[in-house]
Amino acid sequence: MSTAPQPSAPLVFLKGHGTENDFVILPDPEGLVELPARTVARLCDRRAGLGADGVLHVVRSAAHPEARAMAATAEWFMDYRNSDGSIAEMCGNGVRVFARYLHRAGLVKDEAFGVATRAGVRHVRLGEDGRVTVGMGRATLPQEEPPVTVTVGERTWPARNVNMGNPHAVAFVADLADAGHLLEAPVVAPADAYPEGTNVEFVVDRGPGHVALRVHERGSGETRSCGTGACAVMVAAARRDGADPAERGVPVTYTVDVPGGRLEITERPDGEIEMTGPAVIVAEGLVEPAWLEA
């Protein structure tokens, strides 16, 4: 007597955002859910799926081969995927939302804890005002020879190469509208400066220690916010403004406006960078197995 195959269980998900950089959150403590690129892309589809800039796959560090070495420092691993299904090293806004979910679900009890990412452990602190502060590590500034440029249409700007665990090209422009609609990825040269692609930030000044940006994220297109991008912009702006914290010997803070809100970025004299901003959980539900497996 044959037994009919049992239907798969529905997939639990949550939806959250940090300065409107939005994510599908998939709790999977033991790392049992397979996430091929096509599945991630379907989940992130804004018309036929749940809609998001990326997926936060929540896995115990000890259960994931890329995170086991960090398990003693951070119990939970943020297995982050871009909306096209590609794997990313880090997502600053994502870490805040990830931390908010862990605390909301009771998976962590403390207000301060570590989160494992492909760029290393990121330490987070939940504030009473609803904002979350993330230790983003140090920026690296690769050599600028030959200089990096960013092109949109017929316009080209010089850009600063900043790495925050993932790559960024930061271009200062006169008007954010100069970047066009960003429906297509800007052209970055030389290509070998970013062998795995890059995020591109277009930046204008709003006042002393205050800038605003638009961002095109590799694998996602234009988004409402990018946490690592805001950090890269702060570093590039501080160097441009002669406000390098290592030279001044005191922390330097910039306010960074993104289309989805506002972030505060502080760089300390030792190079450590902290990002503070909101993190919100907005919904929880189930994904139909038949839809997911179609």
**Residues placed in the known binding site for substrate:** 21, 82, 92-93, 166, 199, 217-218, 227-228
Q: Do domains 11-130+279-293 and 148-276 have the same CATH topology?
A: yes
Tell me: the pLDDT tens digits for 13-22?
999 999 999 9
Q: What is the pLDDT along the chain (294 residues), one digit of tens a residue?
A: 434 334 478 899 999 999 999 999 999 999 999 999 999 999 999 999 999 999 999 999 999 999 999 999 999 999 999 999 999 999 999 999 999 999 999 999 999 999 999 999 999 999 999 999 999 999 999 987 899 999 999 999 999 999 998 999 999 999 999 888 877 889 999 989 999 999 999 999 999 999 999 999 998 899 999 999 999 999 999 999 999 999 999 999 999 999 999 999 999 999 999 999 999 999 999 999 888 887
pLDDT at residue 145, as a whole number: 82
CATH architecture of 11-130+279-293: Roll (3.10)
pLDDT at residue 289, as a whole number: 86
CATH architecture of 148-276: Roll (3.10)
Q: Which residues contact 46 (CB under 8 A, 6 or more apart)?
A: 52
**Residues placed in the known binding site:** 21, 82, 92-93, 166, 199, 217-218, 227-228
Tell me: the pLDDT tens digits for 255-282?
999 999 999 999 999 999 999 999 999 9
For the chain, give every domain's residue range. 11-130+279-293, 148-276
* Catalytic residue ranges: 91, 226
pLDDT at residue 274, as a whole number: 98
pLDDT at residue 238, as a whole number: 98
pLDDT at residue 6, as a whole number: 42
